[in-house]
Chain A
Amino acid sequence: MTGAEPIIEVRDLVAGYGERVVLDGISFDVYPGEILVVLGGSGCGKTTLLHHMVGLLKPLSGTIRYWGRDIGRMDEDELATLLHRVGISFQGGALFNSMTVGENVGLPMREYGNMDEEMVEILVRMKLSLVGLANSGYLMPSELSGGMKKRVGFARAIAMDPEIMFFDEPSAGLDPILAAGLDELILDIRRLLGVTMVVVTHELESIRAVADRALMLDGGKIIFMGKVGEAEQSSNSRVRQFFDRRPDAAIGEQV
C-alpha cells in the first residue's frame, strides 16, 4: 500500500456552508485498494467531506485530485465520466421512492451501461443477493425497513463495479448481525473486486474490523491519521476518548 501512487489526494481543503467553515484546511491521501475510515463526532463534517470528495459540493479553497487530476478544474462531462468509476452510498439511503428496489439498483446500468435487459436483470439480482435481498427486487422502497433501505443503497452503490466507493455510515441502523455481515461484505468486495473504499462510520466494532487506516476529524481539523491500533494509543485525549467511549462532561453544543 505504501509506496504506491495515491488515487485521491486532498490538499488544504477548506469547506463550509455560506459563511460557516466546517472543514478548515485538511490534507490526506487515499491509496489504491485500501479501506480508509473517516471518524469523528456527530456534526464534525464527515458527510460534508464525502460530498466534497465526489464533487457534489464545491470547496471554498483547496484541491481534490483523482489519479492526479483536479476535479475542481473538470467540466461537467469529465466529472460525470469520473463518477462512473465511483460508487456512493448515502447516509439516508437516498433511494428513488417511485421505483422498485430492482429499478433503483439497475438505474445506472440502464442509463449508461448499454447492456442487454437480461444482463441487467442478472446483475441487479447479483448485487441484491450480495446484500441478502435477492428476492426483494420487486418491492417499493416504502415497503422496506430502514436497514433494508440501507442495504439497497449499498447494492446500488456497487451496481457499476466502481473502482472507488464512498460509504456514509453503511451500518448505522442495522442490527449487529447485519452490521457484521456488511463489514464482511465490505472486506469481501475489496478483496474480490479490488475496490478502494472510504467509509464513514461511528461503530467501533466496524472500525476495528474493516479499517486499514483511520482519519479522525474534530473542530475542522484532522486530529488523527494512521492505523487504528495507533489511535487507541494516541496522545490526543479526544481521540482516546472516542475509542474508550467516554462521554463529554455534558453533551454540549460542539459547534
Chain B
Amino acid sequence: MDEASSVARVKNTSTVRVSGALADRDGERLVEEVSGIISEGKKDVSVDLSGVEHIDSRGGAWLALASLAAQKEGGRVSLEGARGEVAEFIEMIRPVFEERARPAPPRKGVFETIGGKALDAWGELTDACGLIVDAIYWSFIAPVRGRGLRWKAVTDEVNEMGYQAIGIVCLINFLLGLVIAMLSATQLRRFGVEIYVASLVVIGFARELAVVMTGIVVSARTGAAITAELATMTVSEEIDALKGMGLNVAKFLVAPKFLAILVVMPILTILGFIMGVVGGFVLGVVFLDFTFELWWEHTIWAVTVGDVTQGLVKSFVFAMIIVIVGCHNGLRVVGGARGVGLATTRAVVMDIFFIIVADMVFATIFYFIT
C-alpha cells in the first residue's frame, strides 16, 4: 500500500503537498514542515491532500498532530483537496483537530483538604452507626414483630463463618498456647516456679489471647469475605437491584451475617481458649514432666468465671466490629475490580486496628474496676 508517498513544501508558499499514503515517516515530516512554516511567521498553512488516495487512522493522527502543533503556535492548518474516502474519513474524525477542552481538576487548599477529610470521616461514622442500628433492628426487633428473618441465610453463614473456621482457630490457638508456655517457662524456671506456667496460660487465654487471636483469624477470613462479597455486589449493581425490588439490604444481607457472627465468635473463642490451655498442658505434662493432676489443679485454681466472662464479652464486641466494618466497607465501594480489592484491604486493616483499640479500652476498664 506504500506506493511512493511523499511530503513536500511547495516552493515559496505556505502549502505542503502530501501524496500517497501518509505513513509514519511522512507524518513526522509533515509535522516538521508545518512547524517550519509557522516559525517563519506565517499563520495559515494549507495541506494539500489531493494526491492522497487512501488514509488510515495513523495517517489521520499525523494530520491532527500537525494541526495541533500549528494551533499551539497560534497558527492554523487547513486541509485542502481531500477527495472521496479521504475526505469522508477526515470528516468523521473532525473533533480530533480541535484543541481539546479538558476540565481542569479542581484545586484544593490545605484547609479544604483537611476539612474534607474530617467531613468524610464524620460521614463514615454516621453511616456505620446507622448500619449498627439497622443490623440490630433487623436481627432482633424485626423478627419478633413478625417482619421475618432469613433463617436459611443465617445457618449458611454460621456454617461458613464458624464451622469452616474451627480447624484454623483451634490450630492457631494451640500453637500459641505452646509458644506462650515455653516463653514463660524459661522465665519462671529461674525462680523454680514453672508450675505457674499453667495459671499464666489459662488466665492469658481466658482474658486476652483466645479472643484476640480468634478475632484476627475471623477478620482475615470472614471480614474480608463480607467486604469482598458486598463490594462485588455493589459494583455490579446487585445492591441496586435489591433496593429496586423493595428489599432491605440490612435485612437481606447484613442481619444474617450479624446474627451468625454473634453466635459464632463466642463459640470459636471458647474453642480457642480450650486449645490454648491444651497447648500449655502439652508443654507442662510432656516436656516439663509435671503430673496431669498437678497441672490441672493449678489451671482450675487460677481461672475464675470473671476471666472467662471478660473474654466472652469482648468476643461479642469484636464480632460486631468485624461485621459492621466489613459491611460498611463493602457498601461504600466505588470503581470496579480495583475498588473491591482496596475496600477489602481497608476492611481487614480497620478490623485489626479496632479490635486492638477495643481490647485496650476493655483492659483499661477492667484494670480500674478490679
Report B-chain residues with C-beta under 8 Å of the C-beta of A122: 61, 64-65, 68, 96
Q: A129 contacts B96, CB within 8 Å?
A: yes
The yes or no answer to A125 lying at the interface (CB within 8 A) is yes
The yes or no answer to A123 lying at the interface (CB within 8 A) is yes
Measured CB to CB, the nearest residue on chain B to A118 is B65
Proximity string of chain A (104-148) to chain B, C-beta cutoff 8 Å, 1 when within and 0 when not: 000000000000001100110111011000110010111000000
Q: A135 contacts B57, CB within 8 Å?
A: no
The yes or no answer to A4 lying at the interface (CB within 8 A) is no
Shortest distance between the CB of B238 and any CB in chain A (Å): 14
CA of A127 to CA of B58, assembled, Å: 11
Q: B101 contacts A126, CB within 8 Å?
A: no
Task: Give residues 88-129 of B contacting A (CB, 8 Å).
Answer: 88-89, 92-96, 100-103
Report B-chain residues with C-beta under 8 Å of the C-beta of A118: 65
By size class, the interface of chain B is: 20 to 34
CA of A153 to CA of B88, assembled, Å: 23
Shortest distance between the CB of B131 and any CB in chain A (Å): 23
CA of A223 to CA of B85, assembled, Å: 37
Name the segment of A25-33, A164-172, A186-194, A209-217 touching the other chain.
Answer: A186-194
Report B-chain residues with C-beta under 8 Å of the C-beta of A126: 57, 60-61, 64, 93, 96
Shortest distance between the CB of A90 and any CB in chain B (Å): 15
Measured CB to CB, the nearest residue on chain A to B338 is A98
Within the complex, which residue of A125, A141, A193 is in contact with B96, where a contact is CB–CB below 8 Å? A125
Q: A129 contacts B336, CB within 8 Å?
A: no
The yes or no answer to B73 lying at the interface (CB within 8 A) is no
Q: A97 contacts B61, CB within 8 Å?
A: no
Knowing A129-B93, A142-B334 are in contact, say whether A97-B235 is a contact too (CB < 8 A).
yes
Measured CB to CB, the nearest residue on chain B to A189 is B92
Report B-chain residues with C-beta under 8 Å of the C-beta of A193: 56-57
CA of A81 to CA of B145, assembled, Å: 64
Proximity string of chain A (159-195) to chain B, C-beta cutoff 8 Å, 1 when within and 0 when not: 0010000000000000000000000000010011100
Proximity string of chain A (215-250) to chain B, C-beta cutoff 8 Å, 1 when within and 0 when not: 000000000000000000000000000000000000
Proximity string of chain A (59-102) to chain B, C-beta cutoff 8 Å, 1 when within and 0 when not: 00000000000000000000000000000000000001110000
Report B-chain residues with C-beta under 8 Å of the C-beta of A98: 335-339
Report B-chain residues with C-beta under 8 Å of the C-beta of A96: 336-337
Q: A129 contacts B94, CB within 8 Å?
A: yes
Report B-chain residues with C-beta under 8 Å of the C-beta of A134: 95-96
CA of A228 to CA of B340, assembled, Å: 46
Shortest distance between the CB of A95 and any CB in chain B (Å): 8
Task: Give residues 40-65 of B contacting A (CB, 8 Å).
Answer: 56-58, 60-61, 64-65
Report A-chain residues with C-beta under 8 Å of the C-beta of B92: 129-130, 188, 192
Q: A123 contacts B336, CB within 8 Å?
A: no
Q: A97 contacts B88, CB within 8 Å?
A: no
Q: B85 contacts A140, CB within 8 Å?
A: no
CA of A125 to CA of B93, assembled, Å: 9
A positions within 8 Å CB-CB of B: 96-98, 118-119, 122-123, 125-127, 129-130, 134-135, 138, 140-142, 161, 188, 191-193
B positions within 8 Å CB-CB of A: 56-58, 60-61, 64-65, 68, 85, 88-89, 92-96, 100-103, 235, 334-339
Mind listing 14 A-B residue pairs with CB under 8 Å? A98-B336, A118-B65, A125-B100, A126-B61, A127-B57, A129-B92, A129-B94, A130-B93, A134-B96, A135-B100, A138-B102, A142-B235, A142-B335, A192-B88
